[in-house]
Structures are given as structure tokens and as C-alpha cells.
Amino acid sequence: MAQTLTHADPLVVAGVELRSRLFIGTGKYPTDESMLAALEASECELVTVALRRLDLDDPKKKTILDVIDWHRFRILPNTAGCKTADEAIRIARLARSMGLSDWVKLEVIPDPRYLFPDPEETLKAARVLVDEGFKVLPYINADPVLARKLEEIGTATVMPLGSPIGSGQGIQTLEQIRIIIDQARVPVVVDAGIGAPSDAALAMELGADAVLVNTAIALASDPALMAEAIKGGVEAGRKAYLAGRIPKRAEASPSSPSEGISRPN
């Protein structure tokens, strides 16, 4: 069934059809093996990698680029660790010059406590990078006005947060995300805050096009099992969105038929 659904309901980002609506981050896994097992179990296609983390002290040490089989996954370089637009632009350009990818998950985060993205700097960096032909997937607070501005600039998606990165608080920005989805003509990817399959399902039920999950999987006791569980949440939520959920009502409506039945004497 999942196969049928994928075929009938493709996600297209920057002209590329993706086979999964679950994007996975590669930080915080206890071991490379547990990360690979989780990627496998998630059946994801898009995998995001921090460009900063590739700058290792030991050039002979394996990087994440060596560990993952990039014939099977599509790399989404991200600018995590960049505090200003200029820093993010620089490392995105460098990554692209070296042939890594022209896709970039744009993260400009000056605030270490809540890791909220800087809207001004994100917009500034997006302008430059879109202009230079990058496919930009910006990480933003769930701000419908900012989402519109980024879309108008020409970003490939918008990626509003559900709650702070790694917090596992779920979708705290539900009403704003609903508005973003309602307005958007580019895919909306809920990124950050998802702690459990139910959070992923909720985002997808709202009509998000995809979700990005890292910490909830990487720090689970069994990352591969959690990856599989969240994949299930994403699929369930997407199907529910397509199926059309019932509206919420203040009063009950009996499940059993109440009309046209014979009454006992």
C-alpha cells in the first residue's frame, strides 16, 4: 500500500521527485552503525549533513561522507553552526564548488540556548544563494510572513520548526504551521522538535509535505526501531491528510445508526 501511495502522491522538491517524506539528520548518533541502521529502517531518501562537521582535525579519519552510501541516499548539506548570513553563504559556496551539492539546508542560528534561526540573516543568505543557483531549503521559525518572503525569493521549500531543535517538545507552533501550509506553493517541511511518531503524524495530518527528524531517532534507545516507528507516523499522517479527516464538533454524533431502526416495544 505504501508503494501505491508513494507512486500516486510524490513529493517534488526543486524538480526532484523524492521517494520518502521523511528527511533524516545525521547528528548525535552513538555510533556510525546505529546511524546506518536508522537510515535503513527509515527508508528515507534525503539525508542532511552538517558541512561544518566535515572539517575534521584528522584528514585521514573517515567523515560522514565516507560512511554513507551516497548512491542510495541524496545528500542535503546544511549550514548548521553558522551564526551569520555571510558564514552560511561562504560554506554553502565552498561545498558547492567542491561538487558536493547545489542543495543547501540553510540554517543561520546565532542563539545557542534555544537555537532559534535568525530571520533577517536567513533571508539575506537565501537571496544570495538562490541568485547563485542554489536550491535553498531554509530552516525558519514558524512565521507565515517570513515563509512567504522566502518563497517569493525562490527557495525550494520552507522548513518551519515545531519546537526548538532537539527539544522533543513536538508541534508547539501548530496554528502558525497551519497558516504556512495554507499559503505555501512550495513544499512545507516541518523541521525540529519532533519527538515521537505521533508528532510526525500530526505535522503530516496538518498537510505538511514532509518532516525532518534527527534527535528523536539518534538519541532513542533503539534508533533503528524509532526510525521505523517515525516512518510509520509520517505515512499514517500523510494518508490521513489525503483521506480528509472529519471536522471537530462540540457535541457527540452517535456511531451507531439512530434513524430508521425499529424500536423495541
Partner 1 sequence: MAIVSSAEAGLQAASRATILQLRAPAMTAAGIEREAMLLVASSPVPVLISSRCDVALACNAAGVNLPERDISTRDARTLLGERLIGRSVHSLEVALAAEREGADFVIFGPVWESSSHPHEKAAGVEALSRVAHALRIPVLAIGGVTEDRIAESGTAGAAGYAAIRLFE
Q: Of the two residues 98 and 242, which places its CB atom closer to partner 1 in the complex?
A: 98
* Smallest separation, CB 242 to partner 1 (Å): 36
CB of 191 to partner 1, least distance (A): 24
Considering only residues 207-226, where is the footprint of partner 1 by CB under 8 A? Answer: none
d(CA 10, CA 174): 24
- Of 32, 102, 205, 222, the residue at the interface with partner 1 (CB under 8 A) is 102
Tell me which of 61, 105, 124, 231 is the catalytic residue. 105
Per CB under 8 A, contacts with partner 1 among 57-86 are 57, 59-60, 84, 86
Cβ(163)–Cβ(141) below 8 Å: no
99 binds partner 1 (CB under 8 A): yes
Three-state DSSP class for 119?
Answer: helix
> Residue 120 interacts with partner 1 (CB under 8 A)?
no
Q: Within 13 Å and on the Cβ side, how many CA atoms surround 249?
A: 6
Tell me the C-alpha distance between 52 and 124, whole Å: 20
Residue 37: alpha-carbon gap to chain centroid: 19
d(CA 89, CA 108): 10
Q: Considering only residues 47, 50, 89, 218, which one is a binding residue for partner 1 as defined by CB under 8 A?
A: 89
Query: Quick one: residue 120, left, alpha or beta (phi over 0 = left, psi -120 to 50 = alpha)?
Result: alpha
CB 74 to partner 1: min, Å: 17
Number of residues counted as binding partner 1 (CB under 8 A) = 19
Round to whole Å and give the CA distance between 201 and 113: 27
Q: What is the DSSP letter of 188?
A: B
Asked if 55 interacts with partner 1 (CB under 8 A), we say: yes
Does 149 participate in catalysis according to the annotation? Answer: no
Q: Any idea which residues carry the catalytic annotation?
A: 105
Residues near partner 1 (CB under 8 A): 55-57, 59-60, 84, 86-87, 89-90, 93-94, 96-99, 102, 132-133
